[in-house]
Structure 1
Amino acid sequence: MPNRSEPVVITPRLLREWPLPVPEGDKASRGTVLVIGGSRFNPGAVLLAGVAALRSGAGVLQLAAAESTAAALSIQVPEAFVVGLPETAEGSVAGKPPERLADLAEQAQAIAVGPGLDNIDETRALLRQVLDAAGPETALVLDAYALGALSHDRDLLSGRKQPVVLTPNLVEAKFLLGREPGDDLSEAAATLADRYGAVVSLFGHIAAPDGRTWREESGDAGLGTSGSGDVRAGIVAGLLSRGADPAQAACWAAYAHAGSGQRLAPRFGRIGFLAREILDEVPHTLAELSAG
């Protein structure tokens, strides 16, 4: 186990001294994000994560969700290329995706898996195939039921070369750890990072497998709203697609997520804003940091 550092507080100054890549050229230079998720009864999670990736600077967005929702998603997010995925009788995304999804996974710069999925066994089979199809440098963000699948099959990431960011909430962290995360979330994040060989972003606590840790302190209660985690996962994916390394993407995303919530508080109160309202604030928050 690597030596763990004391958590570094994420501040605007820290991030400005750790600037994001600024790609030059057309949309291809900012990378392609593929978001995979969205059961028949929860297609909005894919929408939130996908739009968050665009708002964070991704150049091309591709959404893969339950086939029954694909047409509606293509209308709601006209900027995205949308692929319908086979469903089970219950409306979950089936674990045997079409070949087209494997082609998209191979070519994407970043893939987010999990938002809106709702069946552990199907997700585990789907995730394994996505990991097999992804290129060796394709960055992955595992969220929601993808983390549940990982907790059931720790070997899913064994021997993988792809950089990975895990974005668990407290319940998902419990299953990944096999115990309650406790009060020391920095320790919990570091344990997960070491166990799974991935960067972990847990409730404002970020840890890398090499022992580095960070802490974001400006997040408020308003971020604890339905869909907020999907937005955070999408921000991470968007920054990865631009060329940020996993720890950098996780730290910048944590601050951008929290800062965007702060921008909304004067209008809606500390706990009155919606996840979809966070989306429009993300580019402003990132621009202020970059300009400073």
Structure 2
Amino acid sequence: MPPVETILTPTGLRDWPLPVPEGDKSSRGRVLVIGGARTAPGAVMLAGQAALRVGAGVLTLAVAQSVAGPVAAAVPESAVLWLPETASGSVAGGSVEVIQRALGSAAAILIGPGLDDVDETAELITGLVSAAPQDLPIVLDAYAIGALGQLPRHVLTALRGRLVLTPNHTELERLLAAAGEQSGGADSGNADSGNADSDNADSAASDSDAADDPQRRLAEHYEAVLSSDNRIVTPAGNRWLAPAGHSGLGTSGSGDVLAGALVGLLARGVELGQAACWATYLHAAAGDRLAARVGSLGFLARELLDQLPLVLTELQA
């Protein structure tokens, strides 16, 4: 029988409280958001501001050098790193040297908002994973999710256990295709154990459950927490659903706000599954608040930012 899907409610979240912030801004965590190609600098700004809105203490945005100045002016609360870029304005895959110093002090990083070249992004992730501390939580969004299928096996291995993915429906389908290709070359297990029949039966049941739940399949394959379409799944098979939210959240930049809220909570020291649940619920409930005031369609992703601390305060009251 597959694990029961837990419905996220205000009462349930209050019974699963976030760590109480103490001390100065550094004690609430340093967030590093990497993205912002020339064509989409707004995505990284939305994500970074969302991280601050859920209580992260210090923000650094790493963006293409041609837009770094405007980004710094638009988000004065953030430090800004100027990344090398390609002729087309994409963030160059060899930008790790510029980012490396910030990696050492970061409590959590988000890669993807506003990136626009899968090949350059795959190179960038490969370099970042090699340079980052081994226990640093990493959130992948947008083009960074699309680059997963191109990452070397040793990079995927290094990401296991500390990775959160926030795919939309299209990205989820691409992830499933990429995971199928990567699984095809995997080594088969050893069937010479004395408990082989039992192990095989358990494995078959697990495979059947995963086949019925694509998100669980991906969570197991990448050993990552997934948040997609208001559902959260962990590699262990834990599943939650945020019943809030509506189609109005399907608007440009909305996913950047979700990913930013998630990395902000991770920076505060929240574990991966809890951070994904709280961020997903906050994002959905913020959309509900706007729907009541503005309408179910037509509000802007940046308007979600002002709602996040209000919903957070209500949940923690």
TM-score w.r.t. length of structure 1? 0.94
Q: CA deviation at 1:105?
A: 1.5
Query: How big is the shift at 1:217?
Result: 1.1
SS of the residue aligned with 2:213?
A: helix
Q: Deviations over 1:106-133 (max 9, x none)?
A: 2200100000000010000001111112
Structure 1, gaps ≥5 residues long: none
Answer whether contact 2:84 2:95 (CA < 8 A) is retained.
yes
**TM-aligned CA distance change 1:98 to 1:147, over 3 Å:** closer
Larger proportion of helix:
2
| Corresponding residue of 1:175 | 174
Q: Please give the alpha-carbon distance, in whole angstroms, between the structure 2 residues aligned to 1:81 and 1:4.
A: 45
| Aligned twin of 2:227 | 201
Q: Does 2:25 match 1:27?
A: yes
C-alpha contact (below 8 Å) 2:93/2:123 kept by paired residues = yes
Unaligned 5+ runs, structure 2: 179-209
* 1:2-42, Cα deviation, whole Å (9 max, x unpaired): x8512111111111111011121000110000000011010
* Aligned pair partner of 1:280 in 286, 300, 306: 306
Match status 1:64 vs 2:62: yes
> Which deviates more, 159-168 or 93-102?
159-168
What is the TM-score with the length of structure 2 in the denominator? 0.87
- Following superposition, the deviation at residue 186 of structure 1 comes to 8.3
The alignment yields a C-alpha RMSD, in angstroms, of: 1.8
The alignment partner of 1:178 has SS state of helix
User: Residues of 2 paired with 1:113 and 1:67: CA distance?
Assistant: 16
- The separation in 2 between residues aligned to 1:84 and 1:61, in whole angstroms, is 15
Distance 1:148 1:221 in 2: 23
1:56-87 superposed Cα distances (whole Å, 9 cap, x missing partner): 11000000000000000000000000011101
Q: Structure 2: how far apart are the matches of 1:107 and 1:274? A: 33
Aligned residue pairs, count = 286
2:221 maps to 1:222:
no
- In structure 2, what residue type is equivalent to 1:123? T
2:111 maps to 1:85: no
Offset of 1:282 from its aligned partner?
0.2
Percent of matched pairs sharing the same residue: 52
- 1:212 corresponds to 2:210: no
User: Is residue 189–residue 200 contact of structure 1 (8 Å, CA) maintained in 2?
Assistant: yes
Look up the match of 1:43: 41
Which is greater in Rg?
Answer: 2
